[in-house]
Amino acid sequence: MKIITDVFRFERFILRIPLSLIWVVFLMFTPYTKAQTGMAVPNEGAWTLDRCIKHALDSNLSIRQAAIQVTNNRNELRQLQWSRYPTANAGSSLSLNNGRVIDPFTNTFDEQTIESNQLSLQSGVLLYGGGQLRQGIKSQEMAFEASKEDLNSTKNNIALSIANLYLQALLAEKLEESAVKQLEMTRAQRERIQKLVDAGALSIDNLLNIRAQESSEELSLVNARNTTTNALINLALLLQLPDPSSFRIKQATQFDLQIPLEIGIQALYAQAEQRMPELKAAQLREKQALYGLSAARAARYPSLRGFANMSTVYSSTNRRFLTDQPPVITGTAPVGYLENDPTQLVVRPVLSYPTALVPRFSQWGDNLGYGLGLSLSIPIANGAQVETQIKRATQSATQARLQIQTARNQLFTDVTRAITEYRAALARVEANRRNVEAQRENYSFSERRQEQGLINPVEFTTIKNRLQIAEVNLEQARYEMLFRAKVIDFYLGRPIILE
């Protein structure tokens, strides 16, 4: 995973962003956020880093999209798993036919209106497919597990981004406090010089110089407050809060870090390799590709399917005789002539036997039929589709194997950078601490000399500015060290929290 570097140079970048632009971005995102979440998120109280991370993990859109992909892969896996079981499909048709049509019951032509109703039930099951379905299920299982690791990776990236912006906001508030203290010191000094000027002990130019210094520090305080506001709004926008203007964070008081400086790159990499989701996802996708290759090769083998069907039919022409009722004479029909008198016609009565339509359910039971069978498919020549799929699956497996090595290389690079930057941050903290101590001693000594008129205001202002710069650099170094430590905590599997 790519860790963002040089994150603590943010103050120069933020100062270049107009506050009005931040508010425009806020106004653009606020309605969208409310529409997506459907509820307002309370901002009362100071937010801890742990609360910010938990809120982001619950509401961040990138995490929600990754979670949807996990759900999609799970659904695809279930669909493949159900493919192992027999299928069953029922069908029905109802039709009315006029004119000269075929009676579906007698299979003869008729010229009356015929109502027909057919019912059917079909079932099929794969008996043997060369292992293609089995390997496909395993491949999809690996895809499902890989998507879960992708979700974990997204959560880690969001957590680190939140920690980055949170520490930037903490640093901005700390620098604002420092600017307030500097201004208070200058105002107190200006009051002392005012008294000395009024008493005639100092010339008026000393008072003018300290007033100019006071005005400059008032401007610095305004800039520091704007930087704090921008940092808080940036964090609130990342959290997708509906009211960034009221967002507040809790100051961290814990800077005693429990990470030994002598921790080695190989030791940290060995621990990170076991838990980093990016590497796990790459390994799972290699297995997915190998199972996919096996499934592609299985397409060379024959497949055997079993099937069964059941059907019945109803026809409005299907009638039965009523044996309990006598026939009715509807007329006569000639049968011949008398032998001794050809003029005498011999007739017979035409009988009509009463009938009734066979009930629908009776016809369905009488006309019920069944069928069973096997279907064998042997691939012979299919336009080289099978071989093409095998070649594609082979390339996918090779690419997945290379992706594992790429993930390992990237992880080793990130771990090496994390160790190096943490050690450099520790060294900067110690160097800046010594510098602050020296500048404070020099400032205290110069302050007494300035009150005695032994040093000119320009020199004193320069010494004071050096102290202020040294204190700012120390705060930046301390917060950078804290962030670098949290990155190492992340690789060690520790939660990203501040106390």
Same domain, yes or no, for 118 and 181? no
pLDDT in tens, 319-356: 777 777 787 788 888 888 877 777 788 788 887 777 78
State the residue range of the domain holding 364.
87-127+303-316+359-378
- CATH number for the domain that contains residue 365: 2.20.200
Same domain, yes or no, for 265 and 307? no
Same domain, yes or no, for 419 and 455? yes
Based on the structure, what is the number of domains in the chain? 3
Same domain, yes or no, for 104 and 161? no
Q: Does the residue 220 lie in any domain?
A: yes
Same domain, yes or no, for 415 and 451? yes
d(CA 183, CA 210) in angstroms, rounded, equals: 11
Q: Does the residue 499 lie in any domain?
A: no
Helical H segments across 331-384, by residue range: 360-366
Report the pLDDT value the prediction gives residue 431, as an integer from 0 to 100: 92
CA distances from 342 to 4, 246, 275, 337, 346 (A): 121, 122, 114, 5, 10
Same domain, yes or no, for 162 and 250? yes
Report the pLDDT value the prediction gives residue 449, as an integer from 0 to 100: 80
CA distances from 492 to 8, 356, 425 (A): 22, 86, 19
- CATH number for the domain that contains residue 482: 1.20.1600.10
Same domain, yes or no, for 269 and 155? yes
d(CA 450, CA 204) in angstroms, rounded, equals: 14
pLDDT in tens, 166-212: 888 988 988 898 889 888 888 887 888 788 788 887 778 878 888 88
Half-sphere CA count of 279, side-chain side, radius 13 A: 17
Q: Does the residue 137 lie in any domain?
A: yes
One-letter amino acid of 363: Q
Report the pLDDT value the prediction gives residue 26, as an integer from 0 to 100: 34
| 3-class state of residue 401 by DSSP | helix
Q: Does the residue 6 lie in any domain?
A: no
Same domain, yes or no, for 28 and 117? no
Q: Does the residue 1 lie in any domain?
A: no
Same domain, yes or no, for 190 and 42? yes
Report the pLDDT value the prediction gives residue 105, as an integer from 0 to 100: 61
Q: State if pTM tops 0.75.
A: no
d(CA 221, CA 181) in angstroms, rounded, equals: 10
Same domain, yes or no, for 149 and 103? no
